[in-house]
């Protein structure tokens, strides 16, 4: 699986951006798609994740009610809609996929669980 992330940029606080992550190759319902971010001097953290089937999602507390993760199966694309952006959202955002089969609705949030990563896209929020 190869992932291509796009949609980052510079935006003022309170603004919105939509990140996209297109997956090449086959995708399966058990895949978990995640968005992570890493700010300078900080560790990489989970932002949001979704099972490819769309039946379960996870959001970090810091982005709940502001960000929305979704999938568009026909385009094998996962989106991260980011609203009410804050300067502390500034980071490089990465999409990733966990491809190991499993049953159930649990959405994995640890970055070590993910085995394919996109190249990252910079999001900068000015105050």
Distance CA 34, CA 25 (A): 17
pLDDT reading at 55 higher than 90: no
pLDDT reading at 60 higher than 90: yes
At residue 33, the pLDDT reads: 94
For the four alpha carbons of 107, 28, 80 and 9, in that order, the dihedral sign comes to positive
Q: How many CA atoms are closer than 13 Å to the CA of 75, on its beta-carbon side?
A: 10
CA–centroid distance for 38 within its chain: 12
Q: What is the mean pLDDT of residues 68-89?
A: 94
pLDDT reading at 1 higher than 80: yes
All residues at 6 or more sequence positions from 7 whose CB lies less than 8 Å from its CB, including other chains: 17, 18, 19, 20, 121
84-112, pLDDT tens digit by residue?
Answer: 999 999 999 999 999 988 888 889 999 99
At residue 122, the pLDDT reads: 98
């Amino acid at each position: 699986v190869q992932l291509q992330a796009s949609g980052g940029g510079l935006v003022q606080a309170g603004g919105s951006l939509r990140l996209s992550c297109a997956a090449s190759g086959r995708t399966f319902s058990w895949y978990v798609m995640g968005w992570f971010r890493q700010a300078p001097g900080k560790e990489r953290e989970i932002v949001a994740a979704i099972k490819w089937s769309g039946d379960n999602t996870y959001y970090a507390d810091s982005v709940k009610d502001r960000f929305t993760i979704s999938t568009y199966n026909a385009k094998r694309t996962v989106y991260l809609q980011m609203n009410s952006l804050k300067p502390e959202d500034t980071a490089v955002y990465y999409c990733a996929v966990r491809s190991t089969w499993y049953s159930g609705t649990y959405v994995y949030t640890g970055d070590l669980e993910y085995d394919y990563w996109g190249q990252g896209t910079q999001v900068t929020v000015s105050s």
